[in-house]
Structure 1
Amino acid sequence: MTDPVVLVATMVAKPGQEELVEKTFAAALPKVHAEPGCLRYALHRRTGTTGEFVMIEKWASREALDAHMKGAVMREMGAALAQALAGAPDLVFLDAIPVGDADAGAV
């Protein structure tokens, strides 16, 4: 059995593009949630900012994440946000340390 993959992606909108970025993600979320292997795809905003978005993702496997990254929804979002983001997303992959309650102690 493969371990789930947890990814935190941070994206910064260019000034004036915050609403476009949020609306683009909001429209894409239901499609991503329906993708095979999507266990969590949750959009957040960094507290105190209007343009720093954080996506917390959990995928059943690296293969599921890879399929998502190459899929139609990501291509659509990439095209829509190409000029709206200040730079490439900052991607942080996390390895769970299984301690405590299995549900409460992991993403």
Structure 2
Amino acid sequence: MAEPCVVVATMFAKPGQEELVEKTLRAAAPAVHSEPGCLRYALHRRIGEPGRFVMIEKWASKEALRAHGQSAALREVGAALGDALTGPAEVLVFDALPAGDPELGAL
């Protein structure tokens, strides 16, 4: 059975582009939520730093994550934000290491 993976993707908006970045990422969420294997796709912004956006994701498998990387939704986000970000997103992929309470100790 495939193991789920967790992704933390961080993006930095150029000054003045924060609203566009937020709007684009929010608009993409419903399409990503419907992708096979998407277990979580949740947008966050760092408190006190309006240009730093973090997407916390959980995918049913690394294969589902790879398919997401080729998805139309992600291509559309890339096209819309190409000039709005300071650089490419930092994408970190993690294997889950559940600990303690099954509900509290894992995403």
4+ runs deviating over 4 angstroms? none
Asked if residue 15 in structure 1 is aligned to residue 15 in structure 2, the reply is: yes
1:42 aligns with 2:42: yes
State how far apart, in whole Å, the 2-side matches of 1:6 and 1:54 are.
13
**Partner in structure 2 of residue 60 of structure 1:** 60
Q: Alpha carbon RMSD of aligned pairs, Å?
A: 0.7
CA positional deviation for 1:98: 2.1
Percent of matched pairs sharing the same residue: 64
For 1:69, the aligned partner's letter is G
CA distance in 2, matches of 1:98, 1:72: 32
TM-score using structure 1 length: 0.97
Deviation at 1:97, TM superposition (A): 1.9
**Counterpart-to-counterpart distance in 2, 1:72 and 1:2:** 24
Spell out, residue by residue over 1:9-39, the C-alpha distance to the aligned partner (whole angstroms, 9 max, x if none).
Answer: 0000000000000000111101100111000
User: Mapping of 1:63-78 within 5 angstroms?
Assistant: 63-78=63-78
- Contact (CA 8 Å) 2:5, 2:96: kept in 1 or not? no
TM-score where L is the length of structure 2: 0.97
Output the CA distance in 2 between the equivalents of 1:103 and 1:79.
37
